[in-house]
């Protein structure tokens, strides 16, 4: 009986684990924010994406927005993040996990005088690194193209609560 169970399990196992050296991680910087791809959605069949965020003191992050197709989770590794919600702001310190199910309005800032480090997970991933790649490129363009940001957001399942003031990372405090 035990060998029958082992044989059944062995047929279900796979050997698809992936190790990603940190030297190959794509990353972008703008407006006091750095985002690094840890696990790209391309190797998870778009099931999830894992990213590291580092924010300089007083850096602004994305403004209030939501997703219809993705859940988003943050793990605060160092510092304190100000989470923006429809009801106001919440401070989340090191060790806090913030889970944002689909249709939950959110944004975040680093309102402190210290560096903030977080891990961010999108589930499913929906090619999120493509969104970040394009967004960071657009953030470096002068002047910023509001219509371009609106199109980018809609293409990648992001919906701003205020489409006239939606450009992320603008208005660093």
| DSSP code per residue over 3-61 | HHHHHHHHHH---------GGG--EEEETTEEEEEEE-GGGTTTS-EEEEEEE-TT-B-
C-alpha 152/C-alpha 51 separation (Å) is 19
Tokens encoding 123 = 């589930």
Determine which of 19-23, 39-43, 51-55, 120-124 has the lowest per-residue pLDDT on average: 19-23
Residues β-bridged to residue 83: 90, 108
Class of domain 24-160: mainly beta
User: Domain segments of the chain: what residues?
Assistant: 24-160
C-alpha 65/C-alpha 104 separation (Å) is 8
pTM: 0.86
Task: Give the tens place of pLDDT for each residue, 109-151.
Answer: 999 999 999 999 999 999 999 999 999 999 988 888 999 999 9
């Amino acid at each position: 009986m035990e060998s029958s169970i082992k044989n059944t399990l062995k047929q279900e196992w796979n050997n698809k684990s992936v190790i990603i050296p940190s030297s190959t991680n794509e990353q972008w910087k703008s407006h006091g924010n750095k985002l690094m791809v840890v696990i790209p959605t391309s190797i998870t069949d778009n099931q999830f994406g894992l990213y590291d965020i580092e924010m300089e003191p007083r850096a602004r992050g994305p403004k209030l927005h939501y997703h219809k197709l993705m859940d988003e989770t943050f793990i605060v590794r160092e510092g304190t993040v100000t989470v923006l919600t429809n009801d106001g702001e919440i401070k989340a310190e090191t060790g806090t996990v913030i889970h944002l199910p689909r249709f939950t309005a959110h944004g975040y800032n680093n309102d402190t005088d210290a560096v903030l480090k977080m891990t961010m997970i999108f589930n499913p991933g929906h090619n999120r690194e493509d969104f970040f790649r394009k967004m960071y490129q657009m953030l470096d363009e002068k002047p910023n193209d509001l219509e371009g940001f609106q199109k980018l957001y809609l293409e990648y399942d992001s919906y701003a609560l205020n489409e006239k003031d939606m450009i992320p990372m603008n208005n660093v405090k």
